[in-house]
Amino acid sequence: MPPHVSLMERKSPCAFSIFVGMELRETPLPGFGKKYTLSLASGETITIIIYQNGQRELYLTEKGEEDPSYSVRLTDEEARELAFVLGGVRYQPLPSDKMSLIFRELVVEWIPVEAGCPMTGKTLADLAVRRVTGASVIAILRGETIIPTPDPYHEIIQPGDTLVVIGTRPQIEKLMPLCRTQP
């Protein structure tokens, strides 16, 4: 190693490519912890320093820059929670090709419940909404209150409610007359 390069600046033999266009480098920081540098396909760099006490520092360096543009310090607990989110433990998005297929078929609709309609005063189970129409009520908006995933056996539909419904267009069209006052 040339005398002008410090141990901290030396490229680690622990460099490896994760995906095309990205490279992850691991650098030991004796007495402190480890440094990981992820070179992104966009040309930006994310540097993560993990200290022996569990604290982490993240730095984002924009393409063509030498100094980081942004930095954040995380506790061990915060870093682990962020890892869960980034690693897809908390949420797994569908690939865009599957999403476009799903959204070509599915519709989310907000349907107001009119006074005197067949739904008022009944539960979703009483009405067998999913069985009869195929659509699913995923939430009820009642004034300023949102009732997510309403209990089909206990939540009574009231006039003025707005049902948030998911299904195909024909399924939702079967449900709409149940929410309107009958002539």
Do 63 and 117 share a structural domain? Answer: no
- 102-122 average pLDDT score: 85
Do 80 and 31 share a structural domain? Answer: yes
The structure tokens listed for 168 are 């195909």
Q: Which amino acid is at 171?
A: Q
pLDDT digit string, tens, across residues 13-64: 444 444 445 688 889 998 889 999 998 888 899 999 999 888 999 999 999 9
In this prediction, residue 54 carries a pLDDT of 86
For the chain, how many structural domains are there in total?
2
- 107-116 average pLDDT score: 89
How confident is the prediction for the chain on average, in pLDDT? 82
How big is the chain by its Cα radius of gyration, in Å? Answer: 27
The structure tokens listed for 155 are 């939540």
- Above 90 in pLDDT, residue 10? no
Do 50 and 31 share a structural domain? Answer: yes
In this prediction, residue 106 carries a pLDDT of 79
Q: Which domain holds residue 38?
A: 14-86
SS3 157: coil
In this prediction, residue 168 carries a pLDDT of 87
Do 106 and 60 share a structural domain? Answer: no
